[in-house]
Amino acid sequence: MQTNPRQAINSALSRREFLGASMGAALLFAMGGGISCSDKAGPVQMLAALPYAESGLEPVISTKTVGLHYGKHHKGYVDKLNKLTSGTRLAGLPLEQIISATAGQPEQQAIFNNAAQAWNHDFYWRGLKPKGGGAPPAALKQKIEASFGSVEGCKKELAAAANDQFGSGWAWLVQDGERLKVTRTGNADLPLTQGLRPLLTIDVWEHAYYLDYQNRRADYVQAVIDKLIDWEFVEKNLLA
Ligand code: MN
């Protein structure tokens, strides 16, 4: 059990990702981004572009839902994060660095929540694709079968985690060393803080499905699993 969130997050990232994030941070510090209480606006977090059109996930997730979810909710977290970190040493840092610097610290909860939600949403969008679903590629399929018995077993566990999450949160497929696991987190929390490497996530906040499915979260979850998962994205996230 990892108790230090910073250590846990670093262990969940690859060496390349960790060094990349650190170098980004060092560069920003060198550029003056590390000065506290600066009058200058300083570096900001950008909202990553959606990897498809807002209509790309129809009919599983409507254009209206994606428009609001991405354009209002996701953007809202990024904007709030920029407001909260403006003029501080955290402004514009890679999200993993902000998450690592604020996890488990009650006085930093607002920054953590908005940074984690920005990260979670970017990861959620990239884990889905138009006409997704289907069968995972061979190497991933083998890993899934070793951990869950079958792809069907993995999908069932993922759906159960998404449906059982009480209130707002996220269901995840994660890598824990050699094993793949299904887990869930409440509100903004994410597996990185437990040293687990995220491979895929499903957003189960009501804003993700209520316009299209109302109270039928299970129907949304099943449709996402069957028709939208980008299994190539999942495979790319595996740590060798
Ligand atoms: Mn959301």
Cα within 13 Å of Cα(26), Cβ side:
6
User: Taking the model in full, what pTM does it have?
Assistant: 0.90
Taking only the tens place, the pLDDT of each residue in 49-58 is 999 999 999 9
How far is ligand 1, taken at its centre, from the CA of residue 36, in Å? Answer: 31
How far is ligand 1, taken at its centre, from the CA of residue 202, in Å? Answer: 9
How far is ligand 1, taken at its centre, from the CA of residue 76, in Å? Answer: 10
**Separation CA 4–CA 181 (nearest Å):** 21
How far is ligand 1, taken at its centre, from the CA of residue 24, in Å? Answer: 27
Radius of gyration of the CA atoms of the chain, in A: 18
Do 203 and 170 meet the contact criterion of CB atoms below 8 Å apart? yes
Alpha-carbon dihedral 130, 134, 138, 142, rounded to 10 degrees: 120
Domain 138-236 -> CATH class? alpha beta
How far is ligand 1, taken at its centre, from the CA of residue 38, in Å? Answer: 32
How far is ligand 1, taken at its centre, from the CA of residue 135, in Å? Answer: 26
How far is ligand 1, taken at its centre, from the CA of residue 179, in Å? Answer: 27
How far is ligand 1, taken at its centre, from the CA of residue 167, in Å? Answer: 13
Do 191 and 174 meet the contact criterion of CB atoms below 8 Å apart? yes
User: Average pLDDT over the chain, rounded to whole?
Assistant: 91
Q: Strand ranges (DSSP E) for the chain? A: 169-176, 179-186, 197-203
How far is ligand 1, taken at its centre, from the CA of residue 148, in Å? Answer: 27
Mean pLDDT on 106-127: 98
Taking only the tens place, the pLDDT of each residue in 136-148 is 999 999 999 999 9
